[in-house]
Amino acid sequence: MIENRNNRKIGAAILYVGFALLFFILFSRVLYIQATGKADGHELKNEALEKYMRTDVLEASRGTIYDTNGEVIAEDATSFTIAAILDDSATTNPESPNHVTDPEKTAKALAKYIDMDEADILARLKTDGDPFQVEFGKAGRGLSNSIKLQIEEEDLPGITFIRQAKRFYPNGRFASHLIGFTQQIEKEDTNGKVTFETEGQMGIEKSYEKYLQGTDGKIRYTSDLWGYLLPEKREMVAEPEDGDHMYLTIDSKIQTFVEDALNEVEAQYNPAEAFAIVAEAKTGKILAMSQRPTFHPGTREGLDVNWMNDLVEYSYEPGSTMKIFTLAAAIEEGVFNPEATFKSGTYSVGPNRIRDHNSGAGWGEITYEEGIQRSSNVAIANMLEQMTPGVFRQYLEDFKFAQKTGIELPNEAAGSILYNYPLEQVTTAFGQGSTVNAMQMLQAATAITNGGKMMKPYIIDKIIDDTTGETIVNAEPDVVGEPISKATAAKTLDVLETVVTAEHGTGKPYHIEGYDIAGKTGTAQLVGKDGRYLTGTNNYLFSFIGMAPKDDPELIVYAAVAQPKLENESGSAPVSKIFNPVMRNSLQYLNIQPDETIMSQTVELKDFTGQKTSEARKEYAASGMDPVIIGTGNKIVKQVPAAGEKLLQGERAVLLTSDKWTMPNMNGWAIRDVMKVAQSVGLKVSYSGSGYVISQNIQAGKTIKENQKLIIELEQPGSAEEANKKANAESDQSR
């Protein structure tokens, strides 16, 4: 008994000493950690801070792209990604849950706002594996602020939003291949963390990535377990640096003219391809450019049809538009005599025969000027022979064909000059065999419109630093060559004008009332996949390069349509539906006054407002004019042109009376007279074609009122049937 008691005492003493020793060791360890802040070589303070220290990215805004007038073409807009927190550990107060508590109700509510079925949403909310949170894929990304606010009004626990910047293209399908688009690219850092970065994928967005893409900032802060900022804790912020802003040379108004015209031709003729470019004739500044097929840069819809910017990346045989530069070279060399004659029809090149486009029938003995007007291949062959192929080869170099223009867009094609054999030399002179890109043709055309000085085409006006507001890039017109003299340029324009005005000119469909147009048509054969030329009426690239006004060119418009679906029409029909409205509307928009070629006595108009209608009529009659009087009122309330302006004899003036306005008969009127009536009454005018009025939707004598829409159709003098016959006869092959 005594022995057991002693043993228990000894055991208790051992336990006491053991516990005391353990307590001493632990106490010493705690004192050491408190004194040094270290444990096993780790800085505990830093690790604790790191555990609750959060780092978030402050996204930089991508630079905005503007047109030349400051209209937004592409900009960053705030969007949101929706997420649902599923882990109940996120909730600290059951009365105010931070996780999804009712998946069925949540799925039903979200299905009203995102493009996802209720059942699919519910499946996400009941995902196996107990994830902390889930997202909803493409349907849950890119939500607008208004949708976010509507979802928040549903008061759904656990639903949260992640703010993101989304690229916004307010004009939709608008110079899409030029502007390009951006895309979120997934990237993984050295720690395995996946992030998404916005990068330009084509066009300006890609070429100027280094300017447009900003530098993201960072924010570091101490948070609780759930990531919320702890009170009275300081944030550490590195501000983001936003991207620089770009101003293009594009004018949105003119670009809209181009887009509308291309839309109409695409709908009516369903071509394989079509394009149009508008440029300043003396600077090379691109005011508008677009193509079909195109795509929507926001949704990428249509991008799968054609990724390429055809105006830069695609090289093609230009057809007879190349004759512009052969003509200019011949004039410069002094071998072009417009009155000299040649035998049209065929031209022998060794065993080969060059034929004019009417199957080699020709038009007999004609002048070289008429040869240009008719787009005779034989005329060009004879001119090449007179100046020698070697000399013309140098002009091809001087006009910089087969050389990239250096325009600020990716993947420019250089084209090629096929000039090794006599047949290739002749075919190159009239636009077959050798290839170009559209920018090279435009660049060469500036030598004709700018007194011999050739201007590099450019699309960037300036780039502005977002932080300082300073201009860091400022483009200026760039003379890249002088292949011809000023005198030659002027003579070339004179001849090209006759292509449009002459009775047998192939450019007659491109006449625009009130403006002198100089230009050249082209009908280039297309090469199939087997390397052979395609056959058939529609298998051509129909084109026209036009310059206006002829005596002092301000604009160049280059339009082309490939493989349109034609029905009893010439290839010029779809091209003119692009060129004519684009050139006419652009000239009027830029306030370029029509050329008055009629030399006649002018009459300065008096102020007739408030006077009796009969008295005004008498005064006009005394001046040799018969005014258009609208209405039956006995007093004049408005006159167009206004008092003090000068009116040519024979030109129409409009007097608006005080009562019962009725529509005059406009048959045979020029568009400028139609616009006078529209201006006086306040009509909204829409018109198609060129020339003179042949139909109007508001019949003569019908009552009219302000803001009514007037639709008219214009046509050149002569019947449509005769015009079609001539056009068809002149567009069988390369013109």
Give catalytic residues, as residue numbers. 320
Q: Which two tokens stand for residue 498?
A: 């006759």
Assigned token pair, 506: 């192939």
Is the Cα torsion angle 185, 79, 217, 410 positive or negative in sign? positive
- For 475-554, strand residue ranges (E) read 479-481, 518-525, 540-548
List Cβ neighbours of 149 (8 Å cut-off, separation of 6 or more). Answer: none
Structure tokens at 379: 């005329």
* 335 residue type, one letter: V
d(CA 143, CA 82): 8
CA–CA distance, 222 with 107 (Å, rounded to integer): 34
Q: Which two tokens stand for residue 367?
A: 């002048």
Q: How far apart are CA 259 and CA 468, in angstroms?
A: 35
Residues 165 and 62 sit within 8 Å (Cβ to Cβ) = yes
Contacts of residues 359-365 at CB distance under 8 Å and 24 or more positions apart, as own/partner, are 359/732, 359/733, 363/504, 365/341
CB 319 within 8 A of CB 523: yes
Distance separating alpha carbons of residues 104 and 154, to the nearest angstrom: 14
Strand order in the sheet with 684-688: 684-688, 709-715, 692-696
What are the residues facing 670 on neighbouring strands?
692
8 A C-beta contact, residue 74 and residue 168: yes
Residue 197, CB half-sphere, CA atoms under 13 Å: how many?
Answer: 14
- Residue entry with tokens 């990239």: 404
**Residue length, the chain?**
735
How far is it, in rounded angstroms, from Cα 425 to Cα 419? 5
What gap in Å lies between CA 435 and CA 14, rounded to an integer? 103
Query: How far apart are alpha carbons 152 and 11 in whole angstroms?
Result: 69
Give the residue carrying structure tokens 């802060």.
Answer: 221
CB of 428 closer than 8 Å to CB of 415: no
CA angle 269, 306, 439 (to 5 degrees): 85
In the block, residue with structure tokens 């070589």: 41
Cα–chain center distance at 346: 43
Q: H or E element: which one contains 258?
A: helix 252-269
Cβ partners under 8 Å of residue 651, min gap 6: 625, 673
Residue 584, SS3 per DSSP = helix
Q: Which two tokens stand for residue 620?
A: 């006009």
